[in-house]
Amino acid sequence: MIQQIKRIILLIPTIIGKVIRDPSLLKKNLTRKVFNRIFTAQLHKEKYDIVNNISDFRPLEFPVYENPVASIIIPAYNKWEVSYACFVTLLRNCIGVPYEVIFADDVSTDETKNAEKYLKNVKVIHNKENLRFVKNINNAAKQAKGKYIVLLNNDTNVQKGWLETIVELFEKDDKIGIVGSKLIYPDGRLQEAGNIIWANGVPENYGQLYNPNDFQYNYVREVDYVAGASLAIPRKLWEQLGGMDEDLSPGYFDDSDLAMSVRKAGYKVMYQPKSVLIHYEGTTHGRDTKSGFKSYQVINQEKFQKKWAAELKNQFPFGQDMFLARERAKGKKIVLVIDSRVPLFDQEAGSRSTFNYLQLFVRMGYIVKFVSNSLTKYEPYTTILQQMGIEILYRATDNWSSWIKENGRYIDYTYIHRPDIAEIYLSDIQKYTQSKIIYQTHDLHYLREKRRYDVEKKPEFLAASKKWLPKETAICNASDHVVTFSSFEKEIIHTEFGKKEVTDIPLYLFDSFAAATTVSEFTSKHGLLFVGGFGHFPNRDAMTWFASEIYPIIKKEIPDITVTIAGSNPPEEIQKLAEIEGITVKPNVSDEELVALHKETRILIVPLRYGAGVKGKVIDALAQGIPMVSTGIGIEGIAGIEDIVKANDSAESFAKEVIELYKDTQKLAEVSVQYTKFAEKNFSFTSAIATWKELMPQKSS
């Protein structure tokens, strides 16, 4: 209890400082929340790799790489025990990236001068005169051989993934000029998650003293600058810029100055939240800005403000629009995407489509925020989105309500999915934003349930259809624009719902398409394949119907034919189909397994008798040039597909089509060509961009 009281006393100046900087906190009644977040960060610490109290300095042997990717430069002046701890974590946690280490000793008087005794395979530079921080780094960088120069303070403990995640980000985008890390205090609180430079030249560590696990600190984003305590830059760019500006020697504002120079050269400065290190800030130079090395923090701030006066005019005014300032969002359009959960893109069609459009929005240069109605942090899916630069908000009641009230004014477009999700969020979006609301139906639920009733004749499905019809009608008409994957449903929304602003868009998007399969290749393929998640009832009905009424006809004509049923979570009635000769059930196949199945299969079957929307399995078959046999429901909603895929709605016609196509390898090859040409025309990322530029203009009209 006494310890907690001490912590509270220590936190009071931080809270007061935040309120002084932003008095609106008092009006918003957020002071309590500020305190809670700061204090909570201490109570929910991760298990970080922290090296303390070392007295036995055993030799450390680093790996040797002929062609290092990264050159890690560690400057030091005394504090050998601090530097040694840094090296311990470096050796433990730098795995997967070839690197070299350059240790720049700036005329130390302690055991640092004997560093070679303890550091094997490390380039140790002993300066003949005290160069101080900036010149020491510039001098050491002359020895670097790596593709990237990585500056690392000696008073840090790097964590697992620190280096490889930096390199991964560079390798994704050749317009990235700097990547920086998430810095954590030894007590578990956040030191910074990227930094802001305000218009008056004053810097701010974004997120300082808050919980480093909060969602807003865990996505890749562009920032004004990152701390030199962990900063990486391509060596060619470093040399082009001449390293750090020595007019800022001995140090301070060197990192923000470098970031400004990198941007001026046409590159971006990025924050990588997966690159984490503990930083013992102030260990080397103390905290007193009135004397010693730390006094240059004030001196160099004046130099920085004068040097970049013109550029600073374009920065945000001090303390204003933090939501935009933290990721350099001035002049950029912000898209809010809302769905039931983060898209599990390898598990079901709707999620895969959502993921495709998130990819598209990022590529088009929008800033994307994603609201997950689920509180579950599905992995690896959540991290994949965050690494794409997407901020993810989970629907904890306090999170959503406070977030949309505070930030709704910044949202330009809202892309909201599914009627059950729209019901929850639509009123808040209308109340707190001026955004254009684009509603994605995924499929018309009322139509799907009505068709299920037509097949199974159970009254509960008719009741469900009647429940969804007025809800879907109201949501469509409350939205500014409706998008649907199905051209068939587009007409329903237009004619029956009375909604004029409706656009049909591709279910899936592709960067490239498979080459058509040749006649000789088809001779080595065999069997039929069905793909579909069995949480979706139409897929259960489809395969039950196929096995009982269609398969016996085919089997009689082609006795050695096989059928593979691949799909997640097959219920007992589907699993029992494996008892039928020639049928195999493969539950929960991976992406790699599915690719292999597609390659070895002669025909894809789509025997759906009810459902709604466009079917992902059909789009995949088109994109990969895999011939298919389908019912009308299976191919419904894809404009023009009837020219290349015939609808077979009876068991007899379906079986006949399979038999005739299966035996004719020449026809199979011709169909494959037709499919790939159709897919290239209708399902590319490139073609989708034009549609979305109209739906979500990137410049104000």
| Residue 344 to residue 348: CA distance in whole angstroms | 7
Q: How far apart are the first and last CA of the chain?
A: 59
| Residue 679 to residue 509: CA distance in whole angstroms | 9
Look at residue 103 in the predicted model and tell me its pLDDT. 98
Q: Is the Cα torsion angle 298, 301, 306, 312 positive or negative in sign?
A: negative
Look at residue 297 in the predicted model and tell me its pLDDT. 77
Q: Which CATH class is domain 334-504?
A: alpha beta
What percent of the chain shows pLDDT beyond 90?
77
Encode pLDDT of 471-530 as tens digits: 999 999 999 999 999 888 999 999 999 999 999 999 999 998 888 889 999 999 999 999
Look at residue 649 in the predicted model and tell me its pLDDT. 95
| Residue 423 to residue 417: CA distance in whole angstroms | 10
Write out 78-119 in H/E/C secondary structure: CCHHHHHHHHHHHHHHCCCCCEEEEEEECCCCCHHHHHHHCE
Look at residue 1 in the predicted model and tell me its pLDDT. 43
> Residue 37's closest CA among 255, 216, 167, 247?
216
Look at residue 326 in the predicted model and tell me its pLDDT. 97
Least confident of 5-19, 43-57, 205-219: 5-19
> Residue 135's closest CA among 14, 244, 278, 295?
244
Pairing of strands 119-120, 60-61: parallel
- Segment 349-357 shows an average pLDDT of 93
By the 10 Å C-beta count (0-12 exposed, 13-18 middle, 19+ buried), 191 is classed as buried
Asked if residue 406 lies in contact with residue 429, where contact means CB atoms within 8 angstroms, the answer is no
Task: Break the chain into its structural domains and give their ranges.
Answer: 2-43, 60-280+288-325, 334-504, 519-683
Residue 293: which pLDDT band, with cuts at 50, 70 and 90? low
Q: Which residues pair with 120 in a beta bridge?
A: 61
In CATH, the architecture of 519-683 is: 3-Layer(aba) Sandwich (3.40)
The first and second tokens of residue 235, run together, are 């060596």
Encode pLDDT of 93-137 as tens digits: 999 999 999 999 999 999 999 999 999 999 999 999 999 999 999
> Residue 611's closest CA among 437, 488, 433, 482?
488
By the 10 Å C-beta count (0-12 exposed, 13-18 middle, 19+ buried), 255 is classed as buried
| Residue 491 to residue 496: CA distance in whole angstroms | 8
| Residue 72 to residue 62: CA distance in whole angstroms | 12
Bigger pLDDT: 367 vs 396: 367
Q: Is the pLDDT of residue 628 over 90?
A: yes
Q: Is the pLDDT of residue 578 over 70?
A: yes
Look at residue 616 in the predicted model and tell me its pLDDT. 87
Q: Is the pLDDT of residue 163 over 70?
A: yes
- Segment 269-274 shows an average pLDDT of 98
Look at residue 28 in the predicted model and tell me its pLDDT. 45
Look at residue 287 in the predicted model and tell me its pLDDT. 53
Cα torsion through 550, 555, 561, 565, rounded to 10: 30
| Residue 444 to residue 450: CA distance in whole angstroms | 10
Q: What's the pTM?
A: 0.85
The type of residue at 221 is R
| Residue 358 to residue 360: CA distance in whole angstroms | 5
Most confident of 4-13, 277-286, 573-582: 573-582
Q: Is the pLDDT of residue 26 over 60?
A: no
Encode pLDDT of 597-617 as tens digits: 988 999 999 999 998 888 888
| Residue 102 to residue 591: CA distance in whole angstroms | 42
Residue 397: which pLDDT band, with cuts at 50, 70 and 90? low
DSSP string, 566-587: EESS--HHHHGGGGSTTEEEEE
Asked if residue 634 lies in contact with residue 606, where contact means CB atoms within 8 angstroms, the answer is yes
Same fold for the domain at 334-504 and the one at 519-683?
Answer: yes
Look at residue 327 in the predicted model and tell me its pLDDT. 96
Encode pLDDT of 647-661 as tens digits: 999 999 999 999 999
- How high does pLDDT run on average in the chain? 90
Residue 506, CA atoms < 13 Å, CB-side half-sphere: 28
> Residue 158's closest CA among 72, 244, 287?
72
Q: Is the Cα torsion angle 405, 410, 413, 417 positive or negative in sign?
A: negative
Phi first, then psi, for residue 142 (nearest 5°) are -65, -20
Q: Is the pLDDT of residue 4 over 50?
A: no
Place of tokens 């949309």: 404
22 three-class SS: coil
Q: Is the pLDDT of residue 27 over 70?
A: no
Residue 7: which pLDDT band, with cuts at 50, 70 and 90? very low
Count the residues in the chain. 701
Phi first, then psi, for residue 94 (nearest 5°) are -95, 95
Look at residue 393 in the predicted model and tell me its pLDDT. 92
Provide the H-helix boundaries in 525-607.
537-545, 551-557, 572-575, 591-600
What percent of the chain shows pLDDT beyond 70?
91
The first and second tokens of residue 298, run together, are 């004030």
Encode pLDDT of 373-385 as tens digits: 998 899 999 999 9
| Residue 251 to residue 232: CA distance in whole angstroms | 17
Prior bond of 570 cis (ω within 30°)? no
Q: How far is CA 361 from CA 268, 334, 369, in A?
A: 19, 10, 10
57 three-class SS: coil
Bigger pLDDT: 108 vs 251: 108
- Segment 667-684 shows an average pLDDT of 93
Tell me which of 1.20.1260.60, 1.10.3720.10, 2.40.320.10, 3.90.550.10 is the CATH number of domain 60-280+288-325. Answer: 3.90.550.10
Encode pLDDT of 523-571 as tens digits: 999 999 999 888 888 999 999 999 999 999 999 999 999 999 998 889 9
Place of tokens 């020595």: 246
625: left (phi over 0), alpha (psi -120 to 50) or beta: left
The first and second tokens of residue 554, run together, are 């085919």
| Residue 546 to residue 574: CA distance in whole angstroms | 11
